[in-house]
Amino acid sequence: MKVRILVNLKNGVLDPQGQTVRHALHVLGYHQVKDVRQGKVFELELEGLDRQSAARLIPEIADRVLANPIIESFSWDFLEEA
């Protein structure tokens, strides 16, 4: 079983990297890009548990380790069934 976790800076938290990417896109002429927020992607392969247990475990892992709740929020999804 695989899950994908997205970690992003919370709204309102300055994202210097996202701003720089946006600036670069504007320099290249992509003025349609209004804003860029840069985040992280984690793909976890899990074993020995069902979807329900996974649904409890993933938020715990994301909140405790993968994201820093002070500045970041996360979302996640199952990728495929094993």
Partner 1 sequence: MKFGVVIFPGSNCDYDTFYVLKEVLGQPTVFLWHKDHDLQGVNCVVLPGGFSYGDYLRSGAIARFSPLMQEIVEFAHKGGLVLGICNGFQILLEVGLLEGAMLRNKNLKFLCQHVWVRVENNQTPFTWQAKVGQILKIPIAHFDGNYYAPAETLEKLKTKRQIIFRYCTESGEINEEANVNGSLENIAGISNDAGNVLGLMPHPERASERLLNSTDGLVIFQSILDYWQRQ
Interface segment toward partner 1; rule CB under 8 A; list 11-19, 26-34, 43-51, 54-62 = 11-19
Nearer to partner 1, 20 or 53 (CB): 20
Instruction: Find residue 44's DSSP bridge partners.
Output: 3
DSSP codes joined into one string, 8-65: EEPTTS--HHHHHHHHHHHHTT-TT------EEEEEEE--S--HHHHHHHHHHHIIII
Rule CB under 8 A: say whether 28 interacts with partner 1: no
Taking CB under 8 A as the criterion, the residue among 27, 28, 70, 82 binding partner 1 is: 70
Residues forming the site for partner 1 (CB under 8 A): 9, 13-17, 20, 65-66, 68, 70-71
